[in-house]
Structure 1
């Protein structure tokens, strides 16, 4: 059963949430759950429906009787699978469609790794990549170009000189667990299986489809377009104020704000960068605060140029840096 995939109407459930009422056979559920654990199978996440069978009465009982179970080997060989429930008019069971290899539409993001700064050659790679520039371009386009260039250079350097540290750590943990199992017995030792289960639980949070005005959108391109148009209408609507405040009537004291109009200084910018967390969630460019602190002697001139351009209201191509990610949180069923 190393690379097996098992599909069918099992005519039983192992979770209370797989039935629409509380009339449950707990003994049968425990036995089914114990069998699944014993043979180390994973129940593939179902997209599109919560239940697969209906009693088709006036007040029907709904259950998820049809399932697809897979072994750790199958999950490892098909990490990008999708299981969908389809509609039917000729059966009280809905058919299942399993797509084993769905190519992810989104590109993999760059993320600055904090351990890079500890390896020799890091600053040299950054300096060489940052030295490339664009002629006759505004500061924001130049900064965007250099950040992208450094990202490509660091990724290539890491692949060639360092390799996947996460993979190396996983292999070390696997070796340690194997040694422990040899000494203390098997226990919960099938680490590959449990790592794959964790990865499979992460896939459950992936949005496979959207329901908009009664229509289901399943393609990545369609969901991206639908979300963009929706939030573009919400966030892009110009607000026209219906009332105005006369602050002079309130009698607020006047304050000298001329200091807000002076140029940004290097000391001010560095003070802000120094207070940035080292490894919090990065922006769309993938660089964390640790990168800006470590590479500041190399990148500070272009950073200052961008700030001065902003002060002078020269915001050409500012949109290249002023991006953000909107995360949609999946609602619980």
Structure 2
């Protein structure tokens, strides 16, 4: 593989039976050849390969004896170019019939399901247009006697304004290419003639815009990759992207089995999980006799609570009952 690697161009995906294990836990007994595993890992590091996570089985090969020897010999590796093109690649197994190896299936996709929840992106703060657009929504919230209520309303208004700003300022990949083309063009013209003040200012603006775009992309993927030990910068954006993709692959649930039916589609898995936890965490059944639990609070403590309720501004006007 080391000799063939320089002659292969483009993205790479390598799947097959390597007949080697990398770690002692990849075998069900203590017969582990550390020397061969070290050489195998050294080759993987030299080629800068990444391994697709294998989440539905521990082993891919069986000796079919009693007791059997189980090991993980079959793998799938990819390089950084493949990770950039297909960040949603996954590895799964199929039932083993006559072979002593488990069949492997690689699913390739570029679409990553987006979460329905709202996430504040750190990269937004690097855009000079973000804060002037969303801060007025924070100040427009009317005053309230309850500080917690006013803070919750301010956060909701800021979230709504941030969602609108996000829809209006989506990342456009061609923007970076246009900036680079403009900078290269003006650099080429500068070698043959003197640039005008307007052209110099245009090149400076293009460089500033490109630097800002690169910084925002680095902050975005740094937040996705959950990495805090490396400084943000153009040279690290690819690393953050690869780390975020690898982290998602390791956390992904590829298949859910519900009542004997395997669910693969993202919407079906989401509905099954919501239904399961709704049944698990639903409302507790009423106690026998239909009685309702009430706190056993002494009368003198209830008098203190009533006094606080009446004196606190903005409270409800209905009386409190200790029954």
TM-score exceeds 0.5: yes
Distance 1:69 1:238, change over 3 A: same
Equivalent residue number for residue 84 of structure 2: 76
SS of residue matched to 2:41? helix
Distance 1:193-1:237 versus aligned 2 partners, 3 A rule: closer
> In the superposition, relative to structure 1, how do residues 154 and 102 fare at CA in structure 2: closer, same or farther (>3 Å)?
closer
Encode CA deviations 1:166-224: one digit per residue, 9 max, x unaligned.
425589855568xxxxxxxxxxxxx8468625641442022223344555433222221
> Which structure: larger Rg?
2
Confirm whether residue 67 of structure 1 aligns to residue 75 of structure 2: yes
Whether the aligned pair in 2 keeps the contact of 1:210 and 1:216 (CA below 8 Å) is yes
Q: Give the counterpart of 2:263 among 201, 217, 231.
A: 217
Partner of 1:206: 252
Instruction: Tell me which residue corresponds to 1:301.
Output: none
Instruction: State how far apart, in whole Å, the 1-side matches of 2:218 and 2:18 are.
Output: 40
d(CA) in 2 for partners of 1:168, 1:23: 44
Cα drift, residue 148 of structure 1: 5.9
Give the Å deviation of 1:7: 1.2
Question: Within 5 Å, which residues of 2 pair with 1:215-294?
Answer: 215-241=261-287, 247=296, 253-258=301-306, 261=309
User: 1:1-333 counterparts in 2 under 5 A?
Assistant: 1=8, 2-101=10-109, 103-107=111-115, 109-113=117-121, 116=125, 119=128, 122-127=131-136, 146=157, 149-156=160-167, 159=170, 163=213, 165-168=215-218, 173=232, 192=238, 196-197=242-243, 199-212=245-258, 215-241=261-287, 247=296, 253-258=301-306, 261=309
> Distance in 1 between the 2:101 and 2:283 partners?
46
Query: What is the Cα deviation at residue 70 of structure 1?
Result: 0.8
Question: Which gives a bigger RCO, structure 1 or 2 (Cα 8 Å, sep 6+)?
Answer: 1
Q: What whole-Å deviation, never above 9, does each CA across 1:55-94 have from its counterpart, x for those lacking one?
A: 1122211111111111111111110111111113121111
Gaps of 5+ in 1: 132-138, 178-190, 266-307, 314-333
TM-score (ref. length: structure 2)? 0.61
| Displacement after TM superposition at 1:26 (Å) | 1.3
Tell me the alpha carbon deviations over residues 254-277 of structure 1, each in whole angstroms, 9 at most, x when there is no partner: 432235545976xxxxxxxxxxxx
Do the aligned partners of 1:9 and 1:66 also contact (CA within 8 Å) in 2?
Answer: yes
Change (3 A) 1:96 1:124: closer
| Alignment correspondent of 1:317 | none
Count of matched residue positions in the alignment of Structure 1 and Structure 2? 249
* TM-score relative to the length of structure 1: 0.59
1:263-292 Cα offsets, whole Å, 9 max, x none, are 976xxxxxxxxxxxxxxxxxxxxxxxxxxx
Please, which moves more after superposition, 20-29 or 95-104?
95-104
Q: Which residue of 2 aligns with 1:274?
A: none
Cα root mean square deviation, aligned: 4.3
Classify the secondary structure of the residue corresponding to 1:47.
Answer: coil
- Are the aligned partners of 1:42 and 1:69 in contact in 2 as well (CA < 8 Å)? yes
* 2: CA distance, partners of 1:157 / 1:61: 58
